[in-house]
């Protein structure tokens, strides 16, 4: 329920409780039977409980929202710290990849395609970014694989990423357990 709706309903319930209180006051002066006053009193109490329930819900929502903002702010700070701490490693990795692509004698366009392939983009996405056709991106990727002596995108990624995995002990089997 939106904040405006909560306030509107709380105002209506407050008005109901006020009118019921006034009615109880006038009825008691006129000598109305006790059960009638008791029922109207119960209605007024229910209206007041509704007001307090809505106001309590609003306070709780505001508290949760503030907590989420604080958590997000903390996460954002941690992410920024991680980015700044890891920037030198990422730049070093990018230079190392570029050096290997140069050793494979890739053209500037092929290097750009290779980096985009490593980022996981599809050939269609690569073509859109580079403002070429998908066929051109495909031909360039095939040329990259041929010059590198690999069979495809997964081997290209594995060539650069395999050494980034945590080291294994000498006696650990490298097979994947499923």
Q: Confidence band (pLDDT; 50, 70, 90) for 168?
A: low
Where in the chain are the domains?
1-63, 73-161
Treating both helix axes as pointing N-terminal to C-terminal, what angle do 108-118 and 34-103 enclose, rounded to 10 degrees? 140
Q: Between residues 173 and 93, which one has the greater pLDDT?
A: 93
Q: Between residues 25 and 112, which one has the greater pLDDT?
A: 112
Predicted structure pTM score = 0.51
List, for residues 89-107, the tens digit of each pLDDT value.
Answer: 888 888 989 999 999 999 9
- Fold held by 73-161: Arc Repressor Mutant, subunit A (1.10.10)
CB burial of 97-121 (b: ≥16 within 10 Å; e: otherwise) equals beeebeeeebeeebbbbbebbbeeb
Q: Confidence band (pLDDT; 50, 70, 90) for 125?
A: very high
- For 167, the token pair is 């080291």
DSSP state of 105: T
Instruction: Provide the pLDDT for residue 98.
Output: 92
What rounded mean pLDDT belongs to the chain? Answer: 87
Can you point out the beta strands (E) in the chain?
Answer: none
């Amino acid at each position: 329920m939106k904040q405006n709706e909560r306030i509107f309903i709380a105002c209506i319930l407050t008005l109901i409780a006020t009118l019921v209180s006034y009615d109880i006051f006038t009825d008691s002066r006129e000598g109305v039977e006790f059960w009638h006053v008791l029922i109207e009193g119960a209605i007024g109490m229910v209206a007041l409980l509704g007001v307090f329930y809505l106001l309590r819900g609003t306070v709780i929502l505001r508290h949760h929202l503030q907590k989420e903002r604080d958590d997000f702010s903390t996460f954002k700070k941690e992410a920024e710290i991680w980015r700044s701490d890891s920037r030198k490693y990422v730049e070093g990795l990018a230079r190392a990849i570029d050096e290997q692509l140069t050793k494979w004698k890739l053209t500037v366009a092929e290097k750009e395609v290779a980096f985009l392939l490593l980022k996981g983009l599809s050939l269609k996405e690569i073509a859109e970014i580079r403002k070429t056709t998908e066929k051109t991106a495909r031909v360039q990727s095939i040329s990259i694989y041929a010059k590198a002596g690999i069979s495809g995108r997964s081997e290209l990624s594995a060539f650069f990423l395999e050494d980034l995995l945590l080291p294994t002990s000498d006696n650990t089997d490298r097979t994947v357990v499923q």
